[in-house]
Structure 1
Amino acid sequence: MTCDFNDGWLFQKEGQPGESVDLPHDAMITEVRNASCRNGVNTGFFPGGKYVYTKYWKVNPEWLEKSVRVHFEGVYQNCHVFLNEVEVGSHKYGYTPFDIDLTGKLQAGENCLRLMVDNSLEPNCRWYSGAGIYRPVQLIVEEKQHIERIRVKTLAINPAVISVDVIGDSLEAVTVSICDRSHILYEGEPGKITLQQVQLWSDETPKLYTCIAKCKTDEKRLDFGIRKLEWSAEKGLLVNEKEILLRGGCIHHDHGVLGACEFWDAEERRIRILKDAGFNAIRMAHHPASQILLSICDRLGMYVMNETFDGWYVPKTYHDYARYFDECWKDDVRSMVESAENHPSVIMYSIGNEVSETATSKGIKVCRKIQDYVHGLDDTRPVTAGINVLLNVYAHMGIGVYRDKGEYQPKPLPPGKSYHDKKSGSAFFNAMAQKLGPLMFFMSKGRHGDKACAPAGDVLDIIGLNYASSRYDEDAKKYPERMMVGSETMVADLPYNWSRVKKYPQLVGDFVWSAWDYLGEACIGDWTYHSYKGLPLLAGQGMIDITGKALASMYYMQIVWGLRKKPFIAVSPLNHADETPTKGAWQFTNAIDSWSWEGYEGVKTTVEVYAAGESVRLFLNDRLIGCRRLKKFKSSFSLVYQPGVLRAEALDTNGNVIAQHFLGTAQKETILWAEAEKKELRANGQDLCYVPIEFTDKKHCLKPYIEKRVDIAVEGCVSLAGFGSALCKTNEVFDRNHHMAYRGRCLAVLRAKNEQGKAKVSISAEGVEPVVIRLEVK
């Protein structure tokens, strides 16, 4: 029996009164942002803290003789677990699941489970980590002799042959059934099983089957896909004997206005939007993915590079995972592999990100040790690691390497400016990238870059190259047996990168940084306008912003991939025409798809057109603005704004029109547009309803120059889980009932309560008619 264990917890910050919360719960998102906190831009200036979670519940007397455990999907971080005031377990890493065994320790009647969570030692992460019990929790009650887990592997596909292992101590009379919904395909003993007329799993056909394992005392179910994975430098990455080119993007784990809280609906919405945008693969950066994410990728058809760590034994921030890497890495790697091995979506394991340790002989030994350990657990998937070649070059020279100022002390750093943490590792590289920009592309070439990454290339099944696509041609010739993946790249380099992915089978794909924007690493990629006041909050690096809106860079990628045939028109924001932004290295544009700028008539702007073809013509109200050759799928025009219609025509080498695209001005009248993405929710405390809110005309044409306060009031059986915008620099937070729209847009997320009934959501702003949305919670 598996029970939801998420409701009715008492949460308490250190030194503050307690409050009732339902899990998942992010303790960091409600902390007061502080410009002087040690986390700084890493977390968007959210500080850490110490927290206590307490749950009282009554135990069925029959459970005292059973196996009982609590399964935590993720607790950030350094948590100690107490049952009736006696410590029963602990866990350090904030991103791997763990179980707390309560067998034989429960008492009849009421019991108390308490978690002490310590995220006070900062900085300990390079991005927004969240804090507390931010992923779901389950209570699992079983007979003492039970099935621990099922493992399914695909052995062949023509015909389909799978192996089924049922794992547990002293199991008797074990049988398995393979089902397609209610249709039984096989019944019998576990082991090697041949299945007839089944559909194979891939990103295009994400077909799942169910394995039901039974023994005398237990029954377990597992959804799985039949998917054969092969890889070689000669043929590339093969899924079901067909070469796959990975149109990839990196994502962090937070969900914007929800903080780090992991909900099924939040993850399903994100993966669905990413897939609709053209991605067929994601890289989980830089830690293991949740079970929710992997299950959704199985169902929707999204390939996953699952990653273990941001680093190994060399710190990147003072209190990070490196301090207990030697103690914990094996358990955390095993946890990642065991939680991923039955998911057909997982096609690659990454054992580290920008691990400059690979520039040393010790680091290469560690690399081999971890890879061998992964292979011992699961030999059906290749192992990679994100190698930042330039970072390794610098590490060879002793530059950008973290050095402690004395012996490490696991206690808070001194306040004020008495301790200055010099940038090192990935943070050092990020700072260099901001200064050097496009030069970064070339600096990984040559013998120094080769020497810096060759040892890792000799060890890894597939070497991941971060910002080192300039090595592709050179390494494809010099190392014809080496497999590569662009594990982290910039969108501006995609034309070059994708042409090489198509050219070299040994180069299996490209993962842009980043597919979806995220909290922390604040303003590192954004084009920051100084008229926006406040602390940096979001990275500003996403092809899709935190509200789920695809940006111009995303459409550019679609054109380069060949998925979008029409041109795309993007306009530099006219409401900031008199400002010079601070430009981030990761975004190559701040232009947006709007020709609605009331009040900015006569203001000069730049119009960018992305297209496939030889050249492009731009018209305004049927007047030719100009004709430009396309360079790397892009051309730019300078013109003065006046209302009307922009038309872009993509031309072939003979001057024939291939395709065209229009961008028109909104009508005068402004309305507040808001629509719930679902009308019904389940009364389970977990269902979410997303409500995008925009200032538009009656035809839903966005007016991005309107940036005013929006208020929201919620009544009935839902609560406001988060409310905010995609603005990267602001002092606003996401747990208020009001927020400023950014580029004409903001987003509210509603959370179902545990009781049935009606809900009313009222949305208002000055100068427009309010909107009322009604929901039903069943």
Structure 2
Amino acid sequence: MNKLHITLLLFSTVLFSCSDPVVSGPAREQRSLDHHWRFYPGDVSDAHQKDFDDSTWRMLDLPHDWSIEGAYDKNNPAGIAGAFLPTGIGWYRKAIDYQPEWDNRRVAILFDGVYMNSTVYINGKVLGTRPYGYIGFQYDLTDYLVPGKNVIAVKVDHSKAPSGRWYTGSGIYRHVNLLVTGQLHLSRHGVQVQSELERLDLATVRITSTLENHSSGPGSVVLHQILRDKEGRVVHEQRSEKTAIDREEVVDQQFTLEDPLLWSAESPENRYVLETRVLDGRENVIDEVSNVIGFRKIEVSAEKGLLVNGKKTIIKGMCMHHDAGPVGAAVPEDVLRRRLELLKQMGCNAIRTTHNPFAPEFYRMCDEMGFYVMDEAFDGWEVAKAEHDYGNYFEEWWQQDLTEFIKRDMNHPSVIFWSIGNEVRGFTDKRQHELVGFIERLDPTRPVTQGEGSEGTAIGIAGMNGHGEMKGAIADFHRKHPGKPIIGTEITHTYQTRGVYRTRTSYRRRDFPAPWEQGQSFDGLKDKIYLIPDLSEKEVFPESGLPYQSSYDNSIVRMGIRDYWRETKDKPYFLGAFRWTAFDYLGESFGWPARTAPFGIMDLCGFPTDNYYLYQSIWSDKPMVHLLPHWTHPGKENVKIPVVVYTNTGGAELFLNGKSLGRKMLKEDELQLVWQVPYQPGELKVVARTDAGKEITKSYKTAGTPAAVKISTDRTGLSYKEGDVAHLEITIVDDKGTEVPQANRKLHIEVSGGGRCLGLENGDILDHTPHQSPYRKTFNGKLLALVGADDTAQDIGITVSGEGLAPARLTLEKLD
């Protein structure tokens, strides 16, 4: 395939209630079932029975991940992959009361994700089992419900570990909802929309709606659709009549729209709303679904690269795993949104969901905030990569899970690529064609790729992981396959630890080899990778030992960040790359006692390392300047310290204690400025100037002895109903309020009133303190606390204290 030309209109589904004069209750009602489940960590033979006594079980809210609540132990069976956290079997139970308005209605339960091997029961009757932990599913409860109390029970069997190559979590770790509809209603993912934009000012829109009829006889309906722009104005309206609907019926519709506003990562506000109403013969609404709309035109070719709405676009992407530090896999929406905001501020425009489907709210946020998504279905296929992973179930389940995955996500404008796997072991060209063909029958509008799958002939875009970081690898592939565009599915890999610096370059194979690199010679690799000059002849920071890594751009596998940009930004056939990774993630370390390998440019807390700002200087158009390292280095007086500055303004001037150390200009593709500065305590300051003459500064002051605790928060109040989460950034400061960047002090966190601490994290990959403990040390001066609200009406009090430190106190208003 020499050219991929995709023109799309895509929708993300939002459900809401609508008054119905015929039936008792709304036409379609979806409500959360997240609150007040009973949980037991272990197997109980009769826990599925309706009358089982669960009164002694723990009460909790979903989403929930029991692994992250456990103790780190090198003997836990999940091992390196699972960050040495526990797995096992867990049971959840919840009672719901039958509602009179459910009479002659359909009632279903929707799970967004359960890890893994979940079996769901209602009143002792089994509804089904799903092995894959990363995709949602739905069960119809209608025929099992009885007047009065009904009991839902869920067994989660994660007893066989490791079940993945990274931390997976355990439990009902995503949202659960109850859905009530009429007997005749739109099916699950029942409105699918595509369009063709032959010109940017004209869209041909095709809508496929699927109706289900559970009534005793055939029905007759009118499908009424209204398209509204972002101001709420009606821009199109249409009706289609359908008679004699049996069990399932598909309705196809088509219309054209002139001058649509075009969605992109730069213009995510250009969204519409499509209202789909199902009307009976008397014009009564019997079902209704609302969809958020994004029109966009995507073109992919080896000649021009990626064009979005006719504009040349480079993927400035990040790979992400689904966990988030102290909350593990059960990620509150506020935590996810904060992480995406940090990526947006950095200049990132794309995310690869490695290596599995994410939660539905992730895609809604990407639509809203403006990210292009490479949506990945699986890690491997029929050959297991971890002993107990999905490969053991793939042959039986892949078609059902892939169907759910594509239909769930294909309406999102943010999703522009499908990925069918990553570094798939033993894959065949035949199997690759089978998966690609299956996807194209469901969604022929998007290109399909595969991480490290370029040996196959079925994929339209060649995905390159680590081998693409070797010198000349991308260009060599292009010479052999000149008509196939290339994307970096994992480029590049570097290591960094917040607040840690080394001035001599580190190479993984030579200095900290991975288990599979043990005994391999570095000499044979030197000519194939991008060597980085040392910043000093003698190591300036010998006290910063492994496994902590340097936050200069000089701790690499094959290629540093600056070399990635130099080598890829001007290749027309190269669409861009997804860096490994955005955030540190649990698991996949090189062994105990490390909980992770620090690939992330943000740590387990979500605190940026210095390399975050290097990417920002390359990717962002907003003027910025950053310098490193910090300026508290007792005992290094008069030692020359390499001071590095990242900026996108073209140059900068450095000052020490008010004296200029000179102004330097960035040379072409240099991407950093370096001064060798003899250390003296005081203030180190950099000044950059924009073309308009505006000054941008960054400075550090030498800190004294730790004296106090400081708290900053992103919220002043919390709502229990909304599931709000406050991020508390806790910092050790001296008596003048200056951050002490090397302080590692044990702190105690007390949350009183109407709140609860969801978890603590410091970013130290060797710290095994349980996340639910009320104490944790700071790491290089900082600690993160996540605080949520409970179901009481009290304001939330927070006190952070430590021996020899003035405590900090904060009050958050209760908003419910």
The CA distance in 2 between the partners of 1:758 and 1:374, in whole Å, is: 50
Could you tell me which amino acid in structure 2 is paired with residue 221 of structure 1? S
1:71 equivalent in structure 2: 110
- The percent of aligned pairs where both chains have the same amino acid is 31
1:564 deviates by 6.8
User: What's the CA shift string for 1:408-465, capped at 9, x where partnerless?
Assistant: xxxxxxxxxxxxxxxxxxxxxxxxxxxxxxxxxxxxxxxxxxxxx4x32x32111110
2:484 equivalent in structure 1: 482
User: What's the CA shift string for 1:476-514, capped at 9, x where partnerless?
Assistant: 233221111000022544434334443222211111110
| Residue 366 of structure 1, aligned match among 417, 425, 431 | 431
The CA distance in 2 between the partners of 1:266 and 1:599, in whole Å, is: 39
SS in 2 for 1:376: helix
1:110 deviates by 0.4
1:239 equivalent in structure 2: 308
Deviates more, 1:73-82 or 1:600-609: 600-609
2:597 equivalent in structure 1: 539
- Asked whether the equivalents of residues 597 and 704 of structure 1 are also in contact (C-alpha less than 8 Å), the reply is no
1:13 equivalent in structure 2: 41
Which residues in structure 2 correspond to 1:321-470 (within 5 Å)?
321-358=390-427, 363-387=428-452, 453=454, 455-456=455-456, 458-467=457-466, 468-469=468-469, 470=472
2:588 equivalent in structure 1: 521
Deviates more, 1:716-725 or 1:608-617: 608-617
1:702 equivalent in structure 2: 739
Q: Work out whether 1:686 is the aligned partner of 2:723.
A: yes
The CA distance in 2 between the partners of 1:145 and 1:250, in whole Å, is: 41
User: What's the CA shift string for 1:362-418, capped at 9, x where partnerless?
Assistant: x11111110111111111111000007xxxxxxxxxxxxxxxxxxxxxxxxxxxxxx
- Asked whether the equivalents of residues 685 and 752 of structure 1 are also in contact (C-alpha less than 8 Å), the reply is no
User: What's the CA shift string for 1:313-343, capped at 9, x where partnerless?
Assistant: 1221111111111111111111111111111
Q: Work out whether 1:507 is the aligned partner of 2:574.
A: yes
1:167 equivalent in structure 2: 210
The CA distance in 1 between the partners of 2:650 and 2:292, in whole Å, is: 48
1:43 equivalent in structure 2: 82
1:268 equivalent in structure 2: 337
Call closer, same or farther: CA 1:559–1:62 in 2, change over 3 Å. Answer: closer
Bigger proportion of residues as strand: 2
Identify unmatched segments of 5+ residues in structure 1.
389-452, 525-533, 572-593, 652-656
Could you tell me which amino acid in structure 1 is paired with residue 194 of structure 2? K
Call closer, same or farther: CA 1:133–1:662 in 2, change over 3 Å. Answer: closer
Call closer, same or farther: CA 1:613–1:292 in 2, change over 3 Å. Answer: closer
Deviates more, 1:106-115 or 1:145-154: 145-154
1:732 deviates by 1.0
The CA distance in 2 between the partners of 1:87 and 1:494, in whole Å, is: 52
The CA distance in 2 between the partners of 1:664 and 1:498, in whole Å, is: 28
- Asked whether the equivalents of residues 498 and 561 of structure 1 are also in contact (C-alpha less than 8 Å), the reply is no
Deviates more, 1:253-262 or 1:60-69: 60-69
- Asked whether the equivalents of residues 627 and 643 of structure 2 are also in contact (C-alpha less than 8 Å), the reply is yes
SS in 1 for 2:586: coil
User: What's the CA shift string for 1:181-203, capped at 9, x where partnerless?
Assistant: 53222222362233345421111
1:644 equivalent in structure 2: 682
- Asked whether the equivalents of residues 227 and 237 of structure 2 are also in contact (C-alpha less than 8 Å), the reply is yes
The CA distance in 1 between the partners of 2:321 and 2:594, in whole Å, is: 17
1:750 equivalent in structure 2: 787
Alignment TM-score, normalising by the size of structure 1: 0.81
| Residue 262 of structure 2, aligned match among 200, 220, 226 | 200
Which residues in structure 2 correspond to 1:115-194 (within 5 Å)?
115-148=154-187, 149-156=190-197, 157-169=200-212, 172-180=221-229, 181-189=231-239, 191-194=253-256
Which residues in structure 2 correspond to 1:736-775 (within 5 Å)?
736-775=773-812
1:404 equivalent in structure 2: none
Identify unmatched segments of 5+ residues in structure 2.
1-28, 45-55, 214-219, 241-252, 280-285, 495-558
The CA distance in 1 between the partners of 2:585 and 2:103, in whole Å, is: 44
Bigger proportion of residues as helix: 1
The CA distance in 2 between the partners of 1:566 and 1:66, in whole Å, is: 57
1:610 deviates by 4.2
Could you tell me which amino acid in structure 2 is paired with residue 314 of structure 1? V
1:596 equivalent in structure 2: 632
The CA distance in 2 between the partners of 1:175 and 1:549, in whole Å, is: 48
RMSD: 2.9
- Asked whether the equivalents of residues 666 and 696 of structure 1 are also in contact (C-alpha less than 8 Å), the reply is no
1:650 deviates by 8.9
1:289 equivalent in structure 2: 358
The CA distance in 2 between the partners of 1:198 and 1:463, in whole Å, is: 32
The CA distance in 2 between the partners of 1:629 and 1:151, in whole Å, is: 49
- Asked whether the equivalents of residues 613 and 633 of structure 1 are also in contact (C-alpha less than 8 Å), the reply is no
- Asked whether the equivalents of residues 357 and 364 of structure 1 are also in contact (C-alpha less than 8 Å), the reply is no
Could you tell me which amino acid in structure 1 is paired with residue 104 of structure 2? E
- Asked whether the equivalents of residues 128 and 521 of structure 1 are also in contact (C-alpha less than 8 Å), the reply is yes
Deviates more, 1:742-751 or 1:180-189: 180-189
| Residue 219 of structure 1, aligned match among 288, 297, 302 | 288
User: What's the CA shift string for 1:136-171, capped at 9, x where partnerless?
Assistant: 000101112101221122322412443222221366
- Asked whether the equivalents of residues 169 and 328 of structure 2 are also in contact (C-alpha less than 8 Å), the reply is yes
1:344 deviates by 0.6
2:346 equivalent in structure 1: 277
- Asked whether the equivalents of residues 651 and 664 of structure 2 are also in contact (C-alpha less than 8 Å), the reply is yes
- Asked whether the equivalents of residues 799 and 809 of structure 2 are also in contact (C-alpha less than 8 Å), the reply is yes
| Residue 767 of structure 2, aligned match among 730, 747, 764 | 730
1:604 deviates by 6.7
Relative contact order, higher structure (CA 8 A, sep 6+) = 2
Could you tell me which amino acid in structure 2 is paired with residue 514 of structure 1? T
SS in 2 for 1:357: coil
- Asked whether the equivalents of residues 76 and 95 of structure 1 are also in contact (C-alpha less than 8 Å), the reply is yes
Could you tell me which amino acid in structure 2 is paired with residue 462 of structure 1? I
1:393 equivalent in structure 2: none
The CA distance in 2 between the partners of 1:514 and 1:286, in whole Å, is: 12
SS in 1 for 2:138: strand
1:557 equivalent in structure 2: 615
User: What's the CA shift string for 1:504-556, capped at 9, x where partnerless?
Assistant: 222111111101111111368xxxxxxxxx83223311111222222111122
The CA distance in 2 between the partners of 1:231 and 1:698, in whole Å, is: 57
The CA distance in 2 between the partners of 1:472 and 1:259, in whole Å, is: 36
Could you tell me which amino acid in structure 2 is paired with residue 174 of structure 1? L
1:612 deviates by 6.9
SS in 1 for 2:803: coil
SS in 1 for 2:184: coil
Call closer, same or farther: CA 1:618–1:687 in 2, change over 3 Å. Answer: closer
The CA distance in 2 between the partners of 1:500 and 1:153, in whole Å, is: 36
The CA distance in 2 between the partners of 1:22 and 1:366, in whole Å, is: 41
User: What's the CA shift string for 1:176-222, capped at 9, x where partnerless?
Assistant: 11123532222223622333454211111102221111113111111
The CA distance in 2 between the partners of 1:209 and 1:698, in whole Å, is: 53
Alignment TM-score, normalising by the size of structure 2: 0.77
- Asked whether the equivalents of residues 64 and 107 of structure 1 are also in contact (C-alpha less than 8 Å), the reply is no
The CA distance in 2 between the partners of 1:117 and 1:321, in whole Å, is: 15
Which residues in structure 2 correspond to 1:31-110 (within 5 Å)?
31-110=70-149
- Asked whether the equivalents of residues 70 and 770 of structure 2 are also in contact (C-alpha less than 8 Å), the reply is no
- Asked whether the equivalents of residues 115 and 172 of structure 2 are also in contact (C-alpha less than 8 Å), the reply is yes
